[in-house]
Structure 1
Amino acid sequence: MRPIVSQGPVHFIGLSTPPNALQATRILAVRHGETAWNRDTRIQGHTDIDLNEHGRWQAARLGQALRDEPIAAVYSSDLKRARDTAQAVAERHGLPIHTHIGLRERGFGRFEGHTWDELALRYPTETLAWRKRMPDFAPPGGETLVQLRERVVAAVEELAQQHLGEQILLVAHGGVLDVIYRAATRLELQAPRTWQLANAGVNRLLWSPEGLSLVGWGDVSHLQVGDDEDVLDERSA
């Protein structure tokens, strides 16, 4: 899967015509840095896991990469792995971090803390429904994809409306970024995912009253990734 990195003329995927810059908000959307549970392909969901050493390195690299970006505000999920990633950027700009529960990862309920293999043994039927991306399926005690989409899109719209003509940073999670990508490209929730959700990767979008549009996706050049170890998908969210 090759990243979509904007270079040269910008094409807005998802909009019929480019929006007026003063009536739009530029968004930098970033997934948190790596955690030990990412390494283990263990479901995190709402479980509050710290960044591991590599994740802290990724966050530092992210902060350096975005140091010259004009960022008006920094928003983050209230979970530590996202907050600590956001902090690496916020401190470079002298900005506070505003947490928003709408940017939290999907709630996975009883799936949380288990690896894929463990889930297949404990919850075979539920795991199959999850892997098929059934929009109305909820892990026991968790959220459906439909609920996640409604929550995330509402949060992004709420925050973007406050910063028309500006650029903001949103630091969140794999499942959240997956929903944002689908909203920007008008893809269905059940469509197979063919794009990366890289830890500490930079994704660029535009919000206008017409909706979200995609500008660039999956930029990990600041991480100098040589293999797939830093590119983990929503399976380890």
Structure 2
Amino acid sequence: MPTRVVLVRHAQSEFNARHLIQGQLDPPLDDVGLEQLRVGAPRAASEHSDASRVYTSDLSRASTTARAIADALNVDVIADVRLRERHLGNLQGLPRAELKDAEPSAYAAWKSRDPNQTIPGGGECGREVDERLCDFFREIARDGPQKVIAVTHGGVLGRVFSGGRNGDEKRLCGMRRGVGNLAECVIDVDVDGSWRCEYATWASGRFLESTALDADDASSRAALSGAPLACPSRASRASASRSRVRVHADASDDLARKATVLTDDLKAMKTTMPTIRRVVAGNRNDLKALSLYQDALEGKVPTDYDDVSKLEKTLDDLASYVEQRAEEEQFWANREGKVTSSVVDDTNLTEDEKREVASILGNVVTWGVQGATWNALILLIGFVSLVTFVLPNQ
């Protein structure tokens, strides 16, 4: 039997809130992230109470998240550098919206589909991330069938998503989903280090769903320490609700800006508004998500915890779609560039390659001329037949 690994993305960090690229920089969790832990860590522990261990990236945003879950499970935390975020070189610390202009070569390398493409400034290539992940999975699978939790990062989860042996099942996601903070992704790992993804439940945000939110501050702290939960009073639930609204109100303006930036990016890619709305509403035609998105474009942002969480998830999905479109455009631009440079700048071609290109172009011209000649001949025959046989009989 394979080893089941529940991969969890860390809670929200200060850089997440400011839309800065993190890579292997080490910003701490912000107030929203700490609130996410107080709500979601006990739920994660309850859902996976049979997990024997909790592994974590050694970066603080992940290790703080892992510690909260492990305390609720009453198990140890094991830090492992192989779960670190991908090193993003010169992009680290920059605002996401400025990457393309500030570091064009590093940005292009980051978006490249070539697994061997390193990012300038000491960044990793995708293959290096894959290798350390495979090595980690191989090691834990050698201990025999079990369930473990591993807290890691969005870029790492992107590599896991792409590398599943059952990649033909990605369609179960409906689209490539963005992985929100404290979302879970489940995989089954074999002894050779390969894995299969549970694509149907990929990026589940159930730890932060509304059913997990009816706990006041004191009972949340008790849950994180492993103590039994007391039933909160109506007054304490109201107090906790106000606290959650206060925490998320500061992030709301960022959400409105993010919605506008993403929409502008898609419009620049000549994506129509009906298509954008379909991405937002998803396969289930989520009208609530669509309504929140349209309000955000007008600067109207929610303060209710559930609505903020839904809008965050909606924008994560939209960001993933933007990234996917950008990757596709980059792929075709690179391909077109290679073809053009091969024809125009023939100094890179050997003599044999030059003759081959000339032959191909010559054939294209010949086929074009021959095609035009045959078309003209057919029209001429038709005209002669009309004049000779049809018109005299009228």
Q: Could you say whether these structures have the same fold, taking a TM-score greater than 0.5 normalized by the shorter chain as the test?
A: yes
Cα deviation, residue 46, structure 1: 0.9
Task: Give the alignment of 1:120-139 within 5 angstroms.
Answer: 120-139=100-119
Counterpart for residue 33 of structure 2? 55
Q: Identity of paired residues, percent?
A: 26
* Distance (whole Å) between structure 2 residues aligned to residue 74 and residue 231 of structure 1: 29
Give the Cα separation in 2 of the matches to 1:182 and 1:157: 18
**Residue number in structure 1 paired with 2:16:** 38
TM-score (norm 2): 0.49
Counterpart Cα distance in 2 of 1:168 and 1:82: 15
1:156-197 CA-to-partner distances (Å, cap 9, x unmatched) read 2212322x2211000000111111122225559xxxx81221
The structure 1 residue matched to 2:208, chosen from 195, 202, 223, is 223
CA distance in 2, matches of 1:172, 1:156: 13
Per the TM alignment, residue 229 of structure 1 is displaced from its structure 2 partner at its CA by: 5.7
Q: Which residue of 1 aligns with 2:6?
A: 28
Q: Cα–Cα, structure 1 residues 231 and 74, in superposed 2: closer, same or farther, change >3 Å?
A: farther
1:208 aligns with 2:186: no
Structure 1: state its 5+ residue gaps: 1-22
Partner of 1:64: 42
Alignment check: 8 A CA contact 2:100 2:107 kept: yes
For the residue of structure 2 that corresponds to 1:78, the secondary structure is coil
Is 1:30–1:200's contact at 8 Å kept on the other side of the alignment? yes
Q: Which of 53, 71, 79 is the matching residue for 2:59?
A: 79
Paired residues in the alignment total 208
Equivalent position SS for 1:227: helix
- The 2-side partners of 1:146 and 1:25 are apart by 23
Structure 1 partner of 2:266: none
Give, in whole Å, the separation in 1 of the partners of 2:54 and 2:109.
35
Name 2:246's counterpart in structure 1.
none
Cα displacement string for residues 92-119 of structure 1 (whole angstroms, at most 9, x for unaligned residues): 1111110000000001122110023332
TM-score computed with the length of structure 1 as normaliser: 0.79
Whole-angstrom distance in 2 between the partners of 1:134 and 1:84: 33
Q: Secondary structure at the match of 1:204?
A: strand
Deviation at 1:139, TM superposition (A): 1.7
SS at match of 2:310: coil
Higher-Rg structure is 2
Tell me, in whole angstroms, the C-alpha distance in 2 between the residues paired with 1:170 and 1:231: 25
Which structure's residues are more often helix, by fraction? 2
Q: What residue number does 1:16 align with?
A: none
Once residues 52 and 133 of structure 1 are traced to their aligned partners in structure 2, the CA distance between those partners, rounded to angstroms, is: 32
Query: Which aligned pairs between 1:103-122 and structure 2 lie closer than 5 A?
Result: 103-122=83-102
- Corresponding residue for 2:290? none
Structure 2: runs of 5 or more not aligned: 169-174, 210-308, 324-394
Quote how far apart the aligned CAs of 1:39 are.
Answer: 1.9
Structure 1 segments, 4+ long, off by >3 Å, are 185-188, 229-235
